[in-house]
């Protein structure tokens, strides 16, 4: 074993309550998002009316020509105006979701050749509260590292060996599988989280891609 990282209860509370505050701010900005959508609809309607009342300017001689010009305008406006609005609203919504960030009975250990993260999974499907999941990923199988500054989220992407036991004592294996393309999320509520990221980066040889979404209000 190289290092073990222990969750810091105070940091868990900081991240959780911080996310809730950001979500409340997002809800308060709902009128802004509605206004953006209305502006897009208004621009489309005005462009349609402009094309209709200026048929001679656009050399429109038939109904089909008019439909073609209007369709072209709508496509261009959707790409340059509508798409950025949708992306903005979608990213704003995603970054304010409040996920179950804390993993019960978690163990996070960095070995010489791999990361091992064990915890009780959220009850889902055939899993019960007694189940215990262990994800392992070798440094050599890591393909991408991401750090979301806004969410304080470190994501490790690559080939993962996942084992589910029927209890925390890990006596009996419930299921075992290899996931070729998986993303393991680590909200940085650990003691010495910076060292965790730095060690994974050094061991894997993969540079961390920093995602800064603070510019999205």
The residue with tokens 């960095």 is 110
Going by C-alpha positions, the residue among 183, 111, 123 that lies closest to residue 153 is 183
Taking only the tens place, the pLDDT of each residue in 28-68 is 667 877 888 888 899 888 888 888 888 777 777 787 888 88
> What is the pLDDT at residue 217?
45
Provide the b/e sequence for 94-111 (b: ≥16 CB within 10 Å): ebbeeeebebeebbbebe
Taking only the tens place, the pLDDT of each residue in 200-214 is 999 999 999 998 765
pTM to 2 decimals? 0.62
Taking only the tens place, the pLDDT of each residue in 118-157 is 998 765 444 445 789 999 999 999 999 999 887 889 999 9
CATH 2.30.29 region(s) of the chain?
3-7+102-211
Q: For the chain, what is the mean pLDDT?
A: 83
The residue with tokens 């005005």 is 46
Residue 92, both tokens:
């704003």
DSSP notation for 43-62 = HHHHHHHHHHHTTTTTT--S
Position 102 pLDDT exceeds 70: no
Percent of the chain with pLDDT over 70: 82
**Structure-model confidence comparison of residues 89 and 185, the more confident one:** 185
| Angle (nearest 5°) at CA 136 between 138 and 119 | 155
> What is the pLDDT at residue 98?
47
> What is the pLDDT at residue 101?
59
Looking at domain 3-7+102-211, which CATH architecture does it have? Roll (2.30)
């Amino acid at each position: 074993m190289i290092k073990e990282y222990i969750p810091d209860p105070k940091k868990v509370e900081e991240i959780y309550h911080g996310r809730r505050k950001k979500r409340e701010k997002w809800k308060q900005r709902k009128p802004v998002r509605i206004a953006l959508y209305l502006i897009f609809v208004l621009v489309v309607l005005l462009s349609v009316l402009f094309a209709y009342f200026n048929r001679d300017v656009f050399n429109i001689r038939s109904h089909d020509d008019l439909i073609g010009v209007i369709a072209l305008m709508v496509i261009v406006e959707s790409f340059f105006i509508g798409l950025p609005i949708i992306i903005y609203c979608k990213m704003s919504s995603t970054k304010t979701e409040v996920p179950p960030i804390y993993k019960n009975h978690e163990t996070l250990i960095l070995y010489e050749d791999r990361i091992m993260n064990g915890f009780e999974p959220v009850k889902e499907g055939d899993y019960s509260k007694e189940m215990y999941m262990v994800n392992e990923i070798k440094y050599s199988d890591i393909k991408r590292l991401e750090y979301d500054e806004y969410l304080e989220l470190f994501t490790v992407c690559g080939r993962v060996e996942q084992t589910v036991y029927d209890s925390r004592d890990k006596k009996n294996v419930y299921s075992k599988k290899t996931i070729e393309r998986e993303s393991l999320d680590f909200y940085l509520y650990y003691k010495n989280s910076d060292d965790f990221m730095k060690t994974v980066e050094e061991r894997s040889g993969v540079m961390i891609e920093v995602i800064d979404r603070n510019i999205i209000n």
